[in-house]
């Protein structure tokens, strides 16, 4: 048996293990000092009551012969797809139920969708980037090219007619930078993709942090997108589902490449290689859209947004260039005094015991930048901000 040798080409990332090592070493010699972690990429607030109630009631149903559910539809139950359809209608996007596929998370489907594409395609990813886009394509042996996201373009690269690519990754609000495309910018990408026969894989996992009604929460708010884009979204950040696992993928029926319907191909892929998300979890996700669920998740999102604002405000006060934090849980800042990313990491850890993520871990354009997140507790975030305020004076 011949193995897939592309696996030899996947870069090993030591980003988070190096952070953990440095933090452990520091605390060993400074056990009296309280370290505050603002590098967390995971939610910390529990599931809201409406969701927990739905999970429990669905568990009861599964224990009862009359209401037990066996194999469900691989693409998800209508009760959930209809709610997502209505959610999109709320920001003026019209979808049909069979264009929505329930997934066990955006990350899974961002990898799995590649099954539909030939190996011989060129992939365009921004730098800095969420590593999964790169690693999944490396595994499949595709050629990857990078586009610069940097301060000159506010970390929002736009299409360049000289660069030819078949598969384009966009993430807005962005991980790791928190930058958000506006409609005019996304329209440029949609026009570029349609003109060049390219497909856009649009990761909208952080759309729930957008508060400005003029900013697009979905690529499908852009005219022409249904013939060139697939969107991946998730309950992970919206409703704290990182350990509960539910998301969705939108593949329009207008998405036709080489006379093949990607909607039909994806349905075939999912019915063959997936067996659907647990019924219980889909019932939990449905409850997110109930009036109580909406109220409760809004409170949680506000909590994170308030944290983000605190961090952003202290950076503004001290004239530290940064983006994100407004429509995103991430704050992306330029390290002061031209420090390198890891230099600033050590500097913060040693002096005020704040842990963040060095931007250089996300790509070469991340060098000299640093990521803070709003997923910590309010108390810790406030304390961290006070430390920063004193220290940056």
Residues 64-103 that bind a second copy (CB under 8 A): 64-65, 67-72
Of 137 and 328, which has the nearer Cβ to a second copy? 137
- Beta carbon of residue 237, minimum distance to a second copy (angstroms, whole number): 11
Interacting residues with a second copy between 29 and 58 (CB under 8 A): 42-49, 51-52, 55-56
| CB 137 to a second copy: min, Å | 11
135 Cβ neighbours under 8 A, 6+ residues apart? 10, 11
What are the structure tokens assigned to 58, written together?
């669905």
Question: Would the CA dihedral through 189, 194, 197, 202 be positive or negative?
Answer: positive
Distance, CA of 332 to CA of 315 (rounded, Å)? 10
In the list 118, 184, 302, 313, the residue contacting a second copy (rule: CB under 8 A) is: 118
DSSP code for 269: H
The only residue of 82, 98, 127, 135 in contact with a second copy, by rule CB under 8 A: 135
Among 18, 26, 37, 121, binds a second copy (CB under 8 A): 121
Residue 188 CA to residue 272 CA, distance in Å, equals 36
Widest CA span in the chain:
67
User: In sequence order, what are the beta bridge partners of 354?
Assistant: 36
* Residue 129 binds a second copy (CB under 8 A): no
Contact between 112 and a second copy per CB under 8 A: yes
161: contact with a second copy by CB under 8 A: no
Q: Which parts of 273-302 interact with a second copy (CB under 8 A)?
A: 273-281, 284
CB of 358 to a second copy, least distance (A): 20
Is residue 341 a contact point for a second copy (CB under 8 A)?
A: no
Residue 176 binding a second copy, by CB under 8 A: no
Contact criterion met (CB below 8 Å) for 364 and 340: no
CA 300 to chain centre: 17
Q: Which is nearer to a second copy, 335 or 372 (CB)?
A: 372
- Residue 142 makes contact with a second copy by CB under 8 A: no
CA–CA gap between residue 281 and residue 76 (Å, rounded): 11
What are the tokens at 391? 């220290």
Let me know: does 353 contact 31? Beta carbons within 8 Å: no
Site for a second copy in 214-273 (CB under 8 A): 240, 242-245, 257-258, 260, 262, 265, 268-269, 272-273
Question: Binding to a second copy by residue 132, rule CB under 8 A?
Answer: yes
Given 10, 20, 89, 145, the residue binding a second copy (CB under 8 A)? 10
> Are 97 and 81 spatial neighbours (Cβ–Cβ below 8 Å)?
yes
Rule CB under 8 A: say whether 11 interacts with a second copy: no
Q: Give whole-number Cα distances, 108 to 239, 245, 310, in Å.
A: 18, 10, 33
Output the six-digit token pair for 2: 């011949």
Rounded CA separation 9/266 (Å): 27
Give me the least distance between CB of 313 and a second copy, in Å please: 26
The only residue of 19, 198, 308, 311 in contact with a second copy, by rule CB under 8 A: 198
Q: How far is the CB of 382 from a second copy (least distance, A)?
A: 17
127 binds a second copy (CB under 8 A): no
Pick between residue 175 and residue 244 the one whose CB is nearest to a second copy. 244
Cβ at position 275, least distance to a second copy in Å? 5
d(CA 230, CA 115): 14
Residue count (the chain): 393
104 binds a second copy (CB under 8 A): yes
Neighbours of 12 (CB within 10 A): 6
Residue 47, both tokens? 């599931």
Binders of a second copy among residues 300 to 339 (CB under 8 A) are none
Task: Choose, by CB under 8 A, the member of 22, 111, 336, 340 that binds a second copy.
Answer: 111
Smallest distance from the beta carbon of 41 to a second copy, in angstroms? 8
Query: Which of 81, 100, 80, 93 minimizes the C-alpha distance to 270?
Result: 100
Pairing type for strands 260-261 and 256-257 reads: antiparallel
Complex with a second copy: residue 2 or 393, whichever CB lies closer: 2
Residue 373 binding a second copy, by CB under 8 A: no
Asked if residue 379 binds a second copy (CB under 8 A), the reply is no
Task: Give the total of residues touching a second copy (CB under 8 A).
Answer: 76
């Amino acid at each position: 048996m011949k193995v897939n040798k592309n696996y030899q080409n996947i870069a090993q990332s030591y980003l988070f293990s190096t952070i953990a090592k440095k933090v452990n070493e520091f605390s060993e010699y400074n056990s009296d000092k309280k370290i505050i972690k603002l590098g967390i990429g995971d939610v910390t607030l529990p599931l809201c009551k409406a969701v927990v109630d739905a999970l429990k009631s669905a568990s009861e149903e599964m224990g009862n012969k009359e209401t037990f559910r066996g194999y469900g539809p691989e693409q998800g139950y209508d009760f959930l797809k209809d709610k997502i359809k209505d959610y999109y209608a709320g920001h003026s996007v019209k979808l049909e139920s069979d264009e929505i596929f329930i997934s066990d998370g955006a990350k899974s489907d961002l990898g799995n969708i590649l099954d539909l594409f030939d190996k011989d395609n060129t992939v365009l990813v921004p730098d800095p980037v969420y590593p999964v886009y790169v690693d999944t394509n490396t595994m499949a042996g595709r050629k990857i090219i990078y586009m610069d996201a940097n301060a000159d373009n506010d970390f929002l690269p736009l299409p360049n007619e000289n660069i030819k690519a078949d598969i384009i990754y966009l993430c807005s609000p962005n991980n790791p930078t928190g930058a958000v495309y506006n409609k005019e910018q996304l329209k440029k990408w949609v026009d570029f993709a349609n003109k060049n026969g390219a497909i856009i894989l649009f990761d909208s996992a952080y759309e729930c942090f957008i508060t400005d009604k003029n900013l697009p929460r979905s690529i499908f708010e852009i005219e022409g997108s249904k013939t060139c884009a697939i969107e991946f979204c998730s309950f992970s950040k919206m409703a704290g589902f990182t350990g509960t696992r539910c998301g969705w993928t939108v593949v329009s029926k207008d998405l036709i490449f080489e006379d093949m319907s990607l909607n039909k191909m994806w349905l075939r892929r999912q019915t063959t290689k997936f067996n659907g998300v647990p019924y219980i979890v889909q019932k939990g996700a449905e409850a997110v859209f109930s009036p109580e669920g909406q109220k409760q998740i809004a409170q949680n999102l506000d909590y994170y947004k308030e944290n983000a604002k605190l961090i952003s405000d202290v950076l503004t006060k001290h004239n530290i260039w940064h983006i994100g934090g407004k429509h995103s849980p991430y704050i992306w800042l330029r390290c002061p005094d031209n420090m390198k990313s890891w230099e600033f990491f050590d500097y913060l850890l040693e002096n005020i015991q704040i842990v963040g993520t060095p931007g250089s871990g996300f790509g070469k354009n991340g060098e000299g930048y640093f990521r803070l997140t709003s997923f910590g507790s309010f108390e810790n975030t406030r304390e961290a901000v006070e430390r920063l305020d004193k220290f940056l004076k």
